[in-house]
Amino acid sequence: MPESTTPKATRIKNLTRLITHLDTLYERGDECTHPNTGVSISDGEYDGLRRELKQLAPESDLFKTATASRIDSAVKKVVHDPPLTSIEKASHEDRAVQEEQLFKWLTGAAPEASDHPTVTIPGKVYKDQPVTIARDYFYASYKLDGVALALYYIEGQLSQAGLRPRDGINGEDVTQQCQFVNGIPQTLKSPVTCSVRGELICKLSDFQKVQVELEEAGEKLRANPRNHTAGGIRQFKNPQKTQQMRLSFIAYDIKSLATPPYSTEIAKAQFCRDELGIPFIGVTPFQFRELTTLEDSIPDLDFEVDGVIIGVNNLQDQTQMGRHGDPITGNPKGKIAWKFREEEATPTIKEIEWNTGRTGKVTAVAIFDPVRLAGTNVSRATLHNAGFMERKQISIGSTISVRKAGKIIPKVTGVLKGQQPPEFPSVCPDCGAPTELREGGSADMLELICPSKSCPAQIISALCHFLDTIGILGLGESRVTSLVEGNQVAIPADFFELDIEDAESCGLTYRQSALAIAAIHMIPAPDKHTELEPLIAQAKRSKKLIPLWQLVAAFGIDAAGKSAGKALATHFGTFDKIRQATVEQLQEVNDIGEKTAISIHDYLNAHRQEIDRLLEFVEPEIPQNSGVLTGKRFCFSGAFPEGKRHWEQKVELQGGICTGSVSKKTDYLIAGPGSGSKSEKAEKLQIPILDTTALQAMLDR
């Protein structure tokens, strides 16, 4: 068997792809989910993936610090000098293994016993020897769970600010945004020249306010403070909007001072707070017992943390220890990050709440007395699907184990006692129609289904999916619910016939109604206009152009999302041909199986009248077979101020093909900030790397 096709090689390839995918999501501030299942990946699970890859392929490029990227982008860059690097981690699901990782580092970093008095950690053994560490030789501080940022001051004045990129060097310039972030002084108390490193965060108290403001505005809520922070700081078009994001900054390091008046990490923190006026993370002498104390104190904090930084307190000793790998960009040997365990609670289910989604699936949520997890009170957790409940024998009265995966979504991981067969509702909780249990590909995929197509919950979810897929913002679930309950909207076409008065009759203010109608008619930046009625009247007179693949994906057909929409658009070329296709003809399309083909065929025929009405207001844009980019394959990577979808649509309308990965068949990589591994791969394959300015020039030819 060729080496490249062995089970080990296949596993290495799959791990590399998955870790790269998760790294990209993390850098963008998106929730880290599995690309195939959409299930949230916790910090502990992510660390486990990296450990497995480290064992299988210790020389993998993922463990090497990337060199400076040659990519230019539409967003200005800040060159970090010295680079913003990460820290080695001690993390493992098995606490004993994690402690061994820490003891190995402590033993290697500690000085000779004759130079420093030592203290023995009671009951801890490493390599059959009691673990002893030098007293007061190490320091500890919380590891903030935020977005890394470097500030550059010249004679006390803030001159530049840049985020940390994957390569540690070429960061996105957020200087303008930083004038609206709490804790970032524009002028230091002392006129020194230096760089300050720290974390952008959204305090938990501020995050609660943000969620309330988003809900009142009818916008989608944020998954967690870190995701909100990562997106909130990237206000490149309108930096002043950063003020609405309620962001804060806490420093953890200072560099490039000409003559530092301190020699330890603890003294450095005091200097930054007292002499420069910079908020600095708390730094204390480290003793092993402090790990438990710090972890137990998490519920009292107003910000999210995911571990403790432990390091050599003396700065000269720390420097002499050097770095792993590259002497400039490698991770420092004088520090290690102790990752906190995922918090787990064991509540007893008091009630089970059932909810119906857009495809008719009825899902369960366990309700229990509040428990403290990752600094917040949790009283609800998803029970996944009927198959999970059946297999685990979960019911009211069961005592369950609940983890807050990645400090984002509470999920049930098992049952400790009280197992008994679940009782599934015989009727839909929203419309009262009889429910059905249907089997999927495995026993775990047993689903409880509401078959009624007139179910209000399905209608609302489907309408929200339609709006979200075609890119209409500002109409969240609460506003769509008001419109449905007010009998103003039942199918997608109804949105385009709404007047401001219709929305007002459903409880929205005049301004909210006007903004909602403007969003439906795709009026750019409606909040910047004082008189919206003339703009809306003008917009109503023309059809809305929607890419063909996007329109198909917006219908919410089971198993027919974005990739299926693109495949159908490429294969058939027009919407009429897709509607006229038989199941057999649909199966001829790449990546469309029999089940999906049947779903597409049945949906398009069952909803023919609704679709005809929708086509009175929207027009599918057809990919050009003779455009300037015909046949060229593009891959987009990184963040784009206008959104990746904006540029993909432009490429596809000129005959180009957009893919999700870089291969030898790729003609161009379009790179934005945070492109990372895709750019590295493109460089190795000698694939041209362009920014959006160069792409626009190609489109304008």
Give the DSSP letter string of 127-159.
TTEEEEEETT-EEEEEEE-SEEEEEEEETTEEE
Report the percentage of the chain scoring pLDDT > 70: 86
Q: What is the mean pLDDT of residues 665-684?
A: 81
- Model confidence pLDDT, tens digit, residues 124-168: 888 888 888 877 889 999 999 899 999 999 999 999 999 988 778
Q: Which residues contact 181 (CB under 8 A, 6 or more apart)?
A: 200, 233, 242, 247, 248, 249
Separation between Cα atoms, residue 476 and residue 519, nearest integer Å:
12
Contact 253, 106 (CB under 8 A): no
Contact 49, 18 (CB under 8 A): yes
Q: How confident is the model at residue 541 (pLDDT cuts 50, 70, 90)?
A: confident
* Residue 66, pLDDT score: 34
The residues that bridge with 635 in the sheet, in sequence order, are: 659, 669
pTM: 0.56
* Residue 1, pLDDT score: 45
Asked whether residue 29 carries a pLDDT value surpassing 60, the answer given is: no
Q: CA-CA-CA-CA torsion for 654, 657, 662, 663, nearest 10 degrees?
A: -120
Separation between Cα atoms, residue 166 and residue 23, nearest integer Å:
9
- Model confidence pLDDT, tens digit, residues 315-359: 998 988 888 777 677 788 999 999 887 778 899 999 999 988 877
Q: How confident is the model at residue 304 (pLDDT cuts 50, 70, 90)?
A: confident
Task: Specify the residue for token string 């038989």.
Answer: 582
Q: Does domain 633-699 sit in CATH 3.40.50.720?
A: no
Contact 207, 225 (CB under 8 A): yes
Q: Domain boundaries in the chain?
A: 3-63, 141-339, 344-449, 456-490+497-539, 546-621, 633-699
User: What distance lies between CA 341 and its chain's CA centroid?
Assistant: 21
Q: What is the mean pLDDT of residues 425-454?
A: 82
Q: Nearest-5° angle of CA 314, CA 315, CA 316?
A: 95
Q: In this predicted model, which residue has the larger pLDDT, 254 or 560? A: 254
Q: In this predicted model, which residue has the larger pLDDT, 431 or 564? A: 431
- 7-28 and 43-56 helices, crossing angle to 10°: 140
Asked whether residue 607 carries a pLDDT value surpassing 80, the answer given is: yes
Q: What is the mean pLDDT of residues 385-395?
A: 89
Amino acid identity of residue 172, one-letter, is E
- Least trusted range by pLDDT, from 95-99, 475-479, 481-485, 566-570: 475-479
Report the percentage of the chain scoring pLDDT > 90: 30
Amino acid identity of residue 506, one-letter, is C
Asked whether residue 45 carries a pLDDT value surpassing 80, the answer given is: no
The residues that bridge with 417 in the sheet, in sequence order, are: 399
388's tokens:
């999970």
Contact 291, 26 (CB under 8 A): no
**Gap between the terminal Cα atoms of the chain:** 49
* Residue 291, pLDDT score: 81
DSSP element (H, E) containing 554: helix 548-554
Please state which of the four CATH numbers 1.10.150.20, 3.10.20.30, 1.20.1340.10, 2.60.40.60 is assigned to the domain occupying 546-621: 1.10.150.20
- Model confidence pLDDT, tens digit, residues 82-137: 888 888 888 877 778 888 899 889 888 876 544 667 778 877 888 888 888 877 88
* Residue 425, pLDDT score: 94
Contact 412, 150 (CB under 8 A): no
Asked whether residue 74 carries a pLDDT value surpassing 50, the answer given is: no
- Least trusted range by pLDDT, from 54-68, 103-117, 392-406: 54-68
- Model confidence pLDDT, tens digit, residues 160-209: 999 988 778 888 899 999 999 999 999 999 999 999 999 999 998 898 88
Separation between Cα atoms, residue 371 and residue 344, nearest integer Å:
9
* Residue 679, pLDDT score: 82
- Mean pLDDT (the chain) is 83
447's tokens:
């689903």
With left for phi above 0 and alpha for psi between -120 and 50, is residue 106 left, alpha or beta?
Answer: alpha
Q: Which residues contact 83 (CB under 8 A, 6 or more apart)?
A: 65, 167, 168, 169, 328, 329
* Residue 440, pLDDT score: 59
* Residue 591, pLDDT score: 66
Q: In this predicted model, which residue has the larger pLDDT, 246 or 659? A: 246
Secondary structure, 3-state, 168-213:
CCEEEECCCHHHHCECCCCECCCCCCEEEEEEEECCHHHHHHHHHH
Closest CA to 477 of 115, 218, 279, 131: 218
Looking at CATH, the fold of the domain delimited by 141-339 is given as: D-amino Acid Aminotransferase; Chain A, domain 1 (3.30.470)
Task: Specify the residue for token string 């938990």.
Answer: 204
* Residue 310, pLDDT score: 94
Contact 422, 354 (CB under 8 A): no
Separation between Cα atoms, residue 634 and residue 57, nearest integer Å:
30
Please state which of the four CATH numbers 3.30.70.600, 3.40.50.300, 2.40.50.140, 2.30.30.40 is assigned to the domain occupying 344-449: 2.40.50.140
* Residue 406, pLDDT score: 45
Contact 565, 549 (CB under 8 A): yes
Q: How confident is the model at residue 365 (pLDDT cuts 50, 70, 90)?
A: very high
Separation between Cα atoms, residue 374 and residue 343, nearest integer Å:
6
